[in-house]
Amino acid sequence: MRWKTRTTAFTAALAAALAAASTALVAITFSAGPASADTGTGYLRTSGRNIVDSTGRTVRLTGINWFGMETDNKTFHGLWANAPATWKGQLDRMASLGFNTLRVPYSGDALKAGAVATGINDFTNPDLVGNSPLQILDKVITYAGSKGMRVILDRHRPTAAGQTPLWYTASVSEASMIADWVMLAQRYAGNPTVIGADLFNEPHAEGTDPNATGACWGCDVQARDWRLAAERIGNAVLAANPNWLIFVEGVSCLSGGVANEWDNIPDDPMACDWWGGNLSAAIDKPVRLNVANRLVYAPHDYGISVYDRQKWFSDPNFPNNLPAVWDFFWGKLAKQNVAPILVGEFGSTLANPLDTQWLTKLMSYIGENGLSFTYWSWNPNSGDTGGIALDDWYSINQTKYNILQPYLNPPSGDPNPTTPGPSVSPSRSASPSPSPSRSTSPSPSISPSASPSTPPSPGTGACTKVVAITNSWQGGYQAEVRVTNTGTSAVNPWTVTWTVPSGVALTNGWNATVTQSGTTFTAAAPSWNTSLAPNATAVIGFTATGPSSPAPSNVRLNGAACA
């Protein structure tokens, strides 16, 4: 399982620590709304808290994990399923649901010469028969890229045997891990569908303090300090492929060990988090890479179905106490504009009603603070979370999906700028296998701003617009309003207005402060990105109740009618 062991701590101590953390973060807290940026063009970079594409346009990754390559099968699980859940059919389904990024866990065993992929239905997937794990990965990457999706590779385990506290073992050295990463970085160099490396999954504590033997952060012990190891491994990857992003997870406990009450070494309520989830020291002790604008922090977070003894679940203020927990452990990195956050894993069976509250609050937090994510998991055979897919690997868990859906950005980007990529809008719509346990942004969608200047004069031609109904259901819909500044000067601050039919009522908006007065919706620029440069595009998303037809009309930028 992916949680770390911790000893008992008093709820009152936790509440006090959370209150202090929340107070400390008041000055840096702000709200964003779920962005609706696509996956962008070309390779990705970072810019402060944002991930941006090769043109400087903000990208938000809203993805999903598809595991199996880290297990004894050495390839994606579910390849044993019946039609329509072929390997391409499953990718089609993910993209149609709005997942724009695929996180692919693997272990070193899948990369070895002579590695054999098993669990493949040769009737539904005849084109995979006889392929090595890497050849199957090649095909998945190529097809995902053709749909506008991005791919993150995740070193999930040293071997298929299971998760380990440290990134190496007695039989799998750090050097061999680096060699695997360099091979992959070179193999996919020049292919911007593959955007980067999640260096190691869920480093965590082991041993009792003061005799910790697990992964620490900032302890300066070469054999255990994950921060230093991430620098060594990340810089080796960038030397082989400087275009990749480097995703770095946290640890569980900063010390690398768990509390020792017998020797009066306490378990500070805010010293430990989920495996891979603790990045609380990363501002003072950051990961330092040799190539600028490549670092993304990638914490994990889970619900009660995974581990029911995290103290914040029993706080009387649950779930409203949770944002302070996330702020403390990792959210502050985005809020202080240090680096982007991609929540690399989070999930639940939702069997406990409290988990529905947890997931709803987490998605709201992700949406309000401009974060990217990859949900755990697509696979229905994840032992402690289940998946988005049901047992046929094609039907979906509608309850989970309904919580995620408002925050998904369809894969409408173009990883390869020389090849057009299709735009896919979300839709609401086996053989026995291993059942592994889990051990197994929105940022504003605006191109970089130019210097402030006078807004363009009102009049047709100052802007163009694209309006799309991206999803609909009985009694409501989701829409996107894209406005491009076609003037020669930056618009600062920008405001977009549009008209909706009578009977439409706003329920949520993102990438701007969206308000309603009668049949007029107004989207005011967020404080952290007020300027819309010439040829830049603002992408505003919203959900509403009422009729979706006719679509929003009379779109204006600072009063100028958009063509």
- List the catalytic residues: 202, 345
d(CA 108, CA 198): 14
Give the angle 553-537-37 at the CA atoms, nearest 5°.
95
Torsion angle in degrees (nearest 10) through CA of 353, 357, 359, 360: 130
Q: Per the structure block, which two tokens stand in for 400?
A: 């989970």
Structure tokens at 434: 């291993």
* Cα–Cα distance for residue pair 316/37, rounded to 1 Å: 37
Measured CA to CA in angstroms, residue 28 lies from 146, 362, 528 at distances of 39, 19, 12
**Dist. CA 519–CA 502, nearest whole Å:** 6
Q: Are strands 62-65 and 101-107 parallel, antiparallel or unpaired?
A: parallel
214 with 13: CB under 8 angstroms? no
The backbone region for 179, taken as left when phi is positive above 0, alpha when psi lies in -120 to 50, beta otherwise, is alpha
Total length of the chain: 563
- The SS3 call for residue 363 is helix
Q: Which two tokens stand for residue 425?
A: 């809008």
Secondary element (H or E) of residue 64: strand 62-65
Q: Where are the beta strands (DSSP E) in 174-242?
A: 194-198
- Give the three-state DSSP class for 476: strand
Cα separation values, 381 from 208, 338, 390, Å: 33, 36, 9
In this structure, the number of other CB atoms found within 10 A of the CB of residue 411 comes to 31
Distance CA(423)–CA(414), nearest Å, equals 9
Token output for 203 = 């480093």
Q: Which DSSP string do the residues of 296-360 spell out, in sequence order?
A: EE--B---TTT-TT-GGGG-TTTTTTHHHHHIIIIIHHHHTTSS-BEE-B------SHHHHHHHH
* 3-class state of residue 111 by DSSP: helix
In Å, how far are 117, 183, 488, 530 from 527, measured between CA atoms?
50, 43, 22, 6
- CA 432 – CA 371 distance, rounded (Å): 36
Tally Cβ neighbours within 10 Å of residue 546: 15
The 3-state DSSP class for residue 98 equals coil
